[in-house]
Amino acid sequence: MRLTITRFAVSFTVIIWRHVLKKFIHNLYVEFLIMEKQHSYSQVKGVSTGTTILAVKFNGGVIIGSDSRASMGESYVSSKTINKLIQVHDRIFCCIAGSLADAQAVTKMAKFQLSFHSIQMESPPLVKAAASIMRELCYSNKEELQAGFITAGWDRKKGPQIYVVSLGGMLLSQPFTIGGSGSTYIYGYVDAKFKPDMSLEEAKQFSINALALAMGRDNVSGGVVHLVVITEPGVKHIVVPGDKLPKFHDE
């Protein structure tokens, strides 16, 4: 009887300490997010990735892509070479759109949280776990953040996956998705051309064409095309220079 009570007391103590530790870590990374945002904002004040981003599943993997232009307002191009595809774990990436300071703060915090989660689970994190962390960060700070995200990747449980995290923290799973200011010009194209179980080459051409069309029409999208191909064997980065992109009209 005395041994049973002792075991119960130990188990109860462990549960309490786990709860306290979890709460402490949550508060720690929220504070870190605030400080990181302030630091990032001081460095890239007013810079927006006013942009075109996309993700598409194909047979065996997923492709995410974006343009590379960052702007201040609608007239000043602050950078032509921003990489908007951020690796948060081995086979998990995020595309960013909106405030660059907010996006950098959230993705840095997501990396930290995913690394901690991976150590706890003693295995690579699931893509949905990464998307859920992004959703929690966005929802908890929805009054301040001005950034949206596409989270995409591959894991052993569900294979290739794409999740959209909105400004307010809504989480949706999609076979393909587009976002950013340039996306308004290509909804018709992607709706007409997307098909399930595309090959890798078909998905690459679909992505390049969609981004080229958006960059040709949207004045705050431009530069080069960045693509990341994520499959079970690994990750491959592809850069398509602006002068190598297909042209669909006189620019």
Task: Report which DSSP code applies to 223.
Answer: S
Task: Extract the tokens encoding 59.
Answer: 């047979």
Set 51, 52, 151, 177: catalytic member: 51
| CA distances, 172 to each of 27, 55, 133, 176, 193 (Å) | 26, 13, 13, 11, 21
Lay out the sheet containing 53-58: strands in order across: 176-179, 53-58, 61-66, 225-231, 235-240
- Fill in the DSSP letter of residue 124: P
DSSP bridge partners of 63: 56, 229
C-alpha–C-alpha distance, residues 245 and 34, integer Å = 39
State how far the Cα of 220 lies from the Cα of 97, in Å rounded to an integer. 12
In the annotation, is 13 catalytic?
no
* Residues designated catalytic: 51
